[in-house]
Amino acid sequence: MKKTTLVLVSALLALNLHAKLNVVATTADIGAITHEIGGDAIALTTLAKPTEDPHFVDAKPSFILKLSRADVVIEGGAELEIGWLPALLDQSRNEKLANGAPGHIICSKGVPLMDVPATLDRSRGDIHAAGNPHYIIAPSNAKIVARNIADGLSEVDPKNAETYRTNLKKFTDALDAKMTEWQNKLAPFKGASIVAYHDSWPYFARDFGLKIELFLEPKPGIPPTPAHLAEVITKMKEENARVIIVDPYLNRKTAETVARSTEATVVDVAQFPGGVKGTDGGYIALLDYLVNSLAKALGTPGTIPAR
């Protein structure tokens, strides 16, 4: 090949790469679903690590650069990213991503939020002031999120709308098929009480008929106190709760201490694909992991007699 031809080919390749929609997702669950919908039509970057607390993401200066070059930003909304995303968006000075612009996709649109407080009160440190923002870790909501992403990408990039629609159907069909399998696996444990460190699981509990209403944190974002943990231990014994779930960025040692006094098992969980081992494959791989590890832990007879 002649040198001039080579230059031309590389220029064309560069142009082609540029032609891809440049999409930034805030968290790894949104990143994983966006990857299902966007496929090869988009160039995707995810900001938060899957092992990071989504409320307190370490906002690196490189994030501003990524946002300044993006065509689209996709966020969870419901105030999940309120502590770090708005400042980054301001500094990126990218009008395509302004609030209300087509390039700013908010996944919570049309999701009925749970635990919306009757009165707004952030004075006591509650970081779920607009309702519980951890809604994506429930297949019924993941379908709404996937549709919001497909609609949003189609609006910004109409020439690939057909691709986004086809991918949306593929993802939704796969979820529907898996949902039956997951519900069957967890059906024997209907109503079982599970303890969580942080209140991230009400939507997951609703989708699978579990009860996840005891938390090691006295309020979302407030670290456990000895008095609160003593109360949790008493309730765990009353409810025969034998499983404590902990996300990678929370203090596993606290959970282990509570588990020792209650004969409970600590199970490592994540809301984000890649947050625990074996879940890199995406949203469905993560749900597979969660359902299987919970079914295993709940199915292991504890030493506390059932009531």
DSSP H or E stretch at residue 105: strand 104-106
How far is C-alpha 67 from the geometric centre of its chain's CA atoms? 20
Q: How far is the CB of 136 from Zn ion (least distance, A)?
A: 12
Q: Which is nearer to Zn ion, 80 or 175 (CB)?
A: 80
Q: How far is the CB of 200 from Zn ion (least distance, A)?
A: 6
* φ, ψ (nearest 5 deg) of residue 210: -100, 170
Least distance to Zn ion, CB of residue 128, Å: 6
DSSP 115: S
Q: Are 22 and 43 in contact (CB under 8 A)?
A: yes
By rule CB under 5 A, what string of x and - marks binding of each residue 152-171 to Zn ion?
A: --------------------
Phi and psi (nearest 5°) for 195? -100, 135
Nearer to Zn ion among residue 50 and residue 103 (C-beta)? 50
Q: Which is nearer to Zn ion, 77 or 220 (CB)?
A: 220
What is the rounded CA–CA span in Å between residue 181 and residue 196?
Answer: 24
Which residue, among 262, 291, 290, 259, has the nearest Cα to 277 in the 3D structure? 290
- Of all residues in the shown chain, the one whose CB is closest to Zn ion is 220
How far apart are CB 82 and Zn ion at their closest, in Å? 11
Instruction: Write out the binding residues for Zn ion, residues 207-266 only, by CB under 5 A.
Output: 220
Task: Please report the beta strands in 136-178, taking only residues with DSSP state E, as ranges in sequence order.
Answer: none
Within 13 Å and on the Cβ side, how many CA atoms surround 179?
17
Q: How many chain residues are in contact with Zn ion, going by CB under 5 A?
A: 1
Which of 38/220 has CB closer to Zn ion?
220
Considering the complex, state which of residue 220 and residue 273 has its C-beta at the smaller distance from Zn ion: 220
- Three-class secondary structure of residue 265 per DSSP: strand
- Cβ distance to Zn ion smaller for residue 202 or 220: 220
Q: How far is the CB of 220 from Zn ion (least distance, A)?
A: 5
Site for Zn ion in 48-107 (CB under 5 A): none
To Zn ion, the closest distance from the beta carbon of 79 in angstroms equals 9
Which residues touch 74 (CB under 8 Å, ≥6 apart)?
23, 24, 25, 26, 30, 34, 105, 107, 149, 152
Contacting residues toward Zn ion, per CB under 5 A:
220
